[in-house]
Structure 1
Amino acid sequence: MTAELQGSLFGQAEECSLGSLTGVRRTELGDGAWIDLRPAWLTGADVLFERLAANVPWHAERRRMYDRVVDVPRLLSFYGETDALPDPVLDEARDALSRYYAEQLGEPFRTAGLCFYRDGRDSVAWHGDTIGRGATHDTMVAIVSVGAPRSLLLRPRGGGAAVRQALGPGDLIVMGGSCQRTWEHAVPKTSKPVGPRISIQFRPRGVR
């Protein structure tokens, strides 16, 4: 897998390292949902992007959409509880998030889902992570973004004004509380020229 990424100076640090999570900022969304944001949590984000782009076993999927089968507009890879993660910094990130949110979440983050957005044509439609416990219980999904900046949109389930959150290289966003069942999120397509991006999503057991 090759990708052309024009990286930021901040993201091009020689090695990857994680900052403190004490700088997390929480925004209450309503209905028990919230998001936490920690900009530039990961330094060396462009280095990690290049390693993941080259080393992760990416695959394309096709899914039924109404009366036809369509290509999923992004590449995917999933790491279950017993799978070795593709880079040591992902182990560090998962462990750091598990420690920081231990009291609120009550359990560790256990899985990692990776999405490769190759350009502005790749996207993910409005959805909540409601396969499993996310449909009925409060939970958390933590996302680390590497590569080119893209926007994550959130809106109340059932309709309402959307919240746009720009995610740059190394940024962390955590969706918590009732967010997966009372709100939806999406990464929209864009006609603007954008480079490739990888999203790393950490989840507890039984949440997809």
Structure 2
Amino acid sequence: MAAVYQASLLSLNEELAVGPLGSTVRRVPLDRGAWVDVRPGWLSGADELFERLAESVPWRAERRKMYDRVVDVPRLLKFYDEGETLPHPVLADARRVLDEHYREELGEPFATAGLCYYRDGRDSVAWHGDTIGRGAAHDTMVAILSVGYARPLLLRPRGGGSSLRYDLGHGDLIVMGGSCQRTWEHAVPKTTRPAGPRISIQFRPRGVR
């Protein structure tokens, strides 16, 4: 299932581990009670994790109804529900560090992990907010760890407006918090430019999808 990915020799020589958060996190306030936290290069050895996940995760291709037809979801997926063992121990470490950093603000632990495999520039996710479940009515957080080739994550106010762009890959972390899932949307657009494969890991609290 693995796509062709040219890993960095430097990254492959790094220890596979998450770094600290604390003062290394940069918060960007948005409007309407939303914010994002950004921590570039949070995971060292990220290329090694990409290769292990690409090879070992039981990826699924899904189809969904869109208007009057059923279409292929343009990425591969795997969801790890609360209590399920994550596909690599470093992801359990990442969730533990996130829990420690955001415990007071979030008020609950991150419980699930959804993985998306963007194989090339044709794979994407359309504008949306994670509003299935409690995210539709309550402030929450979604933490996204990206490994592999950097792809842009775009954010814009719900209903349209100017967008923000974050190029995420190689161990970068972004956390969307406050009202972000209700009042903003995010997307990973298709691109015709050369783009290598990327895997994103989305940590969410219980009941948020």
Q: Give the alignment's TM-score, normalised by structure 2.
A: 0.98
| Most deviating of 141-150 and 160-169 | 160-169
The Cα offsets for residues 41-69 of structure 1, whole Å up to 9 and x where unpaired, read as: 00000000000001100000000000000
Q: Which amino acid in the other structure matches residue 19 of structure 2? A: G
Q: Which amino acid in the other structure matches residue 42 of structure 1? A: L
Partner of 1:33: 34
- Superposed CA RMSD in Å reads 0.9
Local SS of the residue matching 1:142:
strand
Does the CA-based 8 Å contact 1:13-1:43 persist in structure 2? no
Aligned-partner Cα distance in 2 for 1:146–1:10 = 15
Aligned-partner Cα distance in 2 for 1:149–1:12 = 16
Does the CA-based 8 Å contact 1:17-1:89 persist in structure 2? yes
Partner of 1:18: 18
| Most deviating of 159-168 and 103-112 | 159-168
Residues 132 and 146 of structure 1: CA distance in aligned 2, closer, same or farther (over 3 Å):
same
Does the CA-based 8 Å contact 1:10-1:43 persist in structure 2? no
Say yes or no: does 1:7 pair with 2:38: no
Partner of 1:124: 125
Does the CA-based 8 Å contact 1:109-1:202 persist in structure 2? yes
Partner of 2:140: 139
Q: How many residues end up aligned between the 2 structures? A: 208
Unmatched segments (≥5 aa) in structure 2 = none
Partner of 2:153: 152
Local SS of the residue matching 1:11:
helix
Structure 1 stretches of at least 4 aligned residues deviating more than 4 Å after TM superposition:
none
Does the CA-based 8 Å contact 2:148-2:197 persist in structure 1? yes
Q: Which amino acid in the other structure matches residue 121 of structure 2? A: G
Residues 168 and 2 of structure 1: CA distance in aligned 2, closer, same or farther (over 3 Å):
closer
Q: Give the alignment's TM-score, normalised by structure 1.
A: 0.98
